Structure 1
Amino acid sequence: MKQSTNKTSAANAAVLSDIQTLRKRARKNIEEGAVTMGYGADRKEVIRLLNEALATELVCVLRYKRHYFMAKGINSDSVKAEFQAHATEEMAHADRLAKRITELGGEPNFSPDGLSARSHAEYVEGDTLKSMIKEDLIAERIAIESYREMVIYLAEHDPTTQRMLKEILAMEEEHADDLASLLAGM
């Protein structure tokens, strides 16, 4: 057991840089901001994926807002509140994604031109309260799968983006659970 611990410690020490090396590397390419030479992911690809996620969140905001305003019927008040809360949370996700894109040296794509094509989720309006809930649940399930795939893709190459995506993923799973509960109650 002691020999295994020593091997692990030696392997961990091999990853660590001395102070002078850290300082020297930090001075190189300072215009790249937070992206240091230790960044292991394909930055252009990560920015592309994050822009797709941003488009997905924006489409979801728009759909939830429409559903909030269009919801009618005896059960609509509690459902409307859920739609409004989800729209607000999806916008917060979009803001986090846009911030991370800029941290990686990219530009968040907020252009309405092609927004729907860049989004993983579709913008389906729904004409009844039940169909609105179903469409939002489908979109949440799409988001869940796409965030899971991005988390796996990033692996250990971009732990900051991966952590953020895991946090967003957890909220998307909560949204899906909320919507599934609403649907079951209809």
Structure 2
Amino acid sequence: MDTPVTEKPADKGAAPPSASNGKGAAGGFLSDVKTLRERARQHIDDGAVTQNYDADRATVLKLLNEALATELVCVLRYRRHYFMAKGIHAEPIAAEFKVHSDEEQAHADRIAARIVQLGGEPDFAPDTLSVRSHSEYVEGKSLTDMIKENLVAERIAIESYLEMVQYIGERDPTTRRMLEEILAVEEEHADELADMLDKG
């Protein structure tokens, strides 16, 4: 009859795996300190992008520049609607358009900053802005038209950001987290616009 094997109790006085033994503080998956220091000195011109960056940088930069164009087109459309909103119920809706415009500008700034961090160049060229944008610049004639066009644009942005987040996955957690935070605001915008239509 087999005797059960019992685990030997851990030596309470034993030191945890140290960074100096090559196994890392978490038992094997972290690099030792010497290696981290050496790697940090290599390719120093790459700034925040280290050899552990696992995404296709060219593709991520392309996606981010498309997101930047989308945000800038949204800024311009919301700005126009803010100034052009007319009618008895227009004042609070126009104020909301202004808030959304400001938030879209903040998104654009974050995206541009991340593009630079990744060693790219943010594309602000006005000549190709509408071509690169996922959403459209539609003026809208009535207040209801404006709300609908902004809601459509927000729905496009939500779909775009969801797909970008899924594509990036775990390969670039910083960019993914930024996109997820922007996505959450776009979802709030869509909810607010849908509420405006319900009240109309």
Q: TM-score scaled to structure 1, two decimals?
A: 0.93
Question: Any residues of structure 2 matched to 1:34-183 within 5 Å, and which?
Answer: 34-183=48-197
2:41 is equivalent to residue 20 of structure 1: no
Structure 1 residue 15 displacement after superposition: 2.1
Structure 1 residue 14 displacement after superposition: 3.1
Structure 1 residue 113 displacement after superposition: 1.1
- Code of the residue aligned with 2:30 in structure 1: it is L
- Code of the residue aligned with 2:124 in structure 1: it is F
Supply the distance in 2 between the matched residues of 1:144 and 1:53 (Cα, whole angstroms). 11
Supply the distance in 1 between the matched residues of 2:28 and 2:104 (Cα, whole angstroms). 41
CA offsets per residue over residues 36-83 of structure 1, 9 Å max, x none? 000000011101000000000000000000000110001100100000
- Code of the residue aligned with 1:53 in structure 2: it is A
- Code of the residue aligned with 1:154 in structure 2: it is I
Count of residue pairs the alignment pairs up? 177
Supply the distance in 1 between the matched residues of 2:27 and 2:55 (Cα, whole angstroms). 23
Supply the distance in 2 between the matched residues of 1:91 and 1:130 (Cα, whole angstroms). 23
Structure 1 residue 13 displacement after superposition: 3.2
Stretches of structure 1 lacking an aligned partner (at least 5 in a row): 4-9
Question: Aligned to 1:83, what secondary structure does the other structure show?
Answer: helix
Higher relative contact order (CA 8 A, sep 6+): 1
Question: Aligned to 1:64, what secondary structure does the other structure show?
Answer: helix
CA offsets per residue over residues 112-140 of structure 1, 9 Å max, x none? 01100000001111000000000000000
Q: CA RMSD in A?
A: 1.2
